[in-house]
Homo-oligomer: A and B are copies of this chain.
Amino acid sequence: MMDLRVELTKNPKEKPQGNLGFGKYFTDHMFVMDYSPENGWYNAAIVPFGPIEVSPACMCLHYGQEVFEGMKAYRNSEGGVQLFRPEENFKRLNVSNDRMCIPKFDEAFLLDALMKLVEIDQEWVPREEGASLYIRPFIIGTEPSLGAHSSTHFKFLIIMSPSGAYYETGLAPVKIYVETKYVRAVTGGTGFAKTAGNYAASMKAQDVAAEEGYSQVLWLDGVERKYVEEVGAMNVFFKLGDEIVTPALDGSILSGITRKSVVDILKSWGMNVQERMLSIDELVQAYKDGKLEEAWGTGTAAVISPIGELKYGDLVMEINQNQIGPISQKLYDTLTGIQWGKIEDTFGWVKKVD
Contacts and interface: CB of A to CB of B under 8 A. Distances in A.
Interface of A: 21-24, 26, 30, 49, 51-57, 60-66, 68, 99-101, 134, 136, 138, 140, 145-150, 157, 159, 161, 181-190, 195-204, 206-207, 222-223, 225, 233
A138 B61 contact: yes
Given A65-B203, A100-B200, A187-B222, 6 more contacts: A23-B146, A30-B56, A146-B161, A186-B222, A189-B201, A189-B222
A63 B30 contact: no
Contacts of A195: 64, 197, 200
Contacts of A138: 61-62
A160 to B, nearest CB: 10
A23 B200 contact: no
Contacts of A146: 22-24, 134, 136, 161
B140 A23 contact: no
A188 B184 CA distance: 8
A35 to B, nearest CB: 15
Nearest to A50: B56
A44 to B, nearest CB: 16
A251 to B, nearest CB: 10
Contacts of A140: 61
Pick from A30, A146, A184, A222 the residue with the most CB of B within 10 Å: A146
7 smallest CB-CB distances across A and B, nearest first, come from A197-B197, A23-B146, A64-B196, A183-B188, A64-B200, A63-B199, A186-B186
A201 to B, nearest CB: 5
Contacts of A198: 64, 197
Contacts of A199: 62-65, 148
A163 to B, nearest CB: 8
A26 B57 contact: yes
Contact of A68 (B62, B101, B187, B223): B62
A223 B188 CA distance: 10
A159 B203 CA distance: 27
21 contacts: A22-B147, A24-B145, A26-B57, A52-B55, A52-B56, A54-B54, A57-B136, A57-B159, A61-B66, A61-B138, A62-B136, A64-B198, A101-B203, A101-B207, A148-B202, A149-B203, A183-B186, A187-B222, A188-B225, A222-B222, A222-B223
B66 A64 contact: yes
Contacts of A145: 23-24
